[in-house]
Amino acid sequence: MTPSRNLYRADCSFHSPAKLSGYYLDIKGLPFKLATPKTNYDSDQDFISSLYILGGPTDTGTIGCWARNEEEYTNETKDLLAHGVTNPNLSRLGSSVL
């Protein structure tokens, strides 16, 4: 079988005093979508995942929480969305507050 992206192969073997036998088990992972999480207090309401994000886009980027250039800021917000954070709380305060 030709390997593919969602294919997993297991090598299974069985041992007994008289005989050793084995086979390959190919498992194909199918795409799926998880249900939207709901709140504990009202199962009709969607759960909102959020984080407090300091700073915002600036002309110069840094490796830190206050200043990010446009590319860094865009990549960070895309990463948050990819991991289920759909409603981040964004602070627009500058580093002068520190």
Q: Render each residue's pLDDT in the chain as its tens digit; 98 residues.
A: 555 678 888 888 877 777 777 888 888 888 888 777 788 888 888 887 777 777 767 777 676 667 778 888 888 888 888 887 888 877 655 444 43
pLDDT at 96 (0 to 100): 43
pLDDT at 98 (0 to 100): 38
CB atoms within 10 A of CB 34: 6
**H or E element, residue 57:** strand 56-57
pLDDT at 1 (0 to 100): 52
pLDDT at 27 (0 to 100): 87
Pick from 91, 54, 85: nearest CA to 62: 54
- Do the Cβ atoms of 14 and 20 come closer than 8 Å? yes
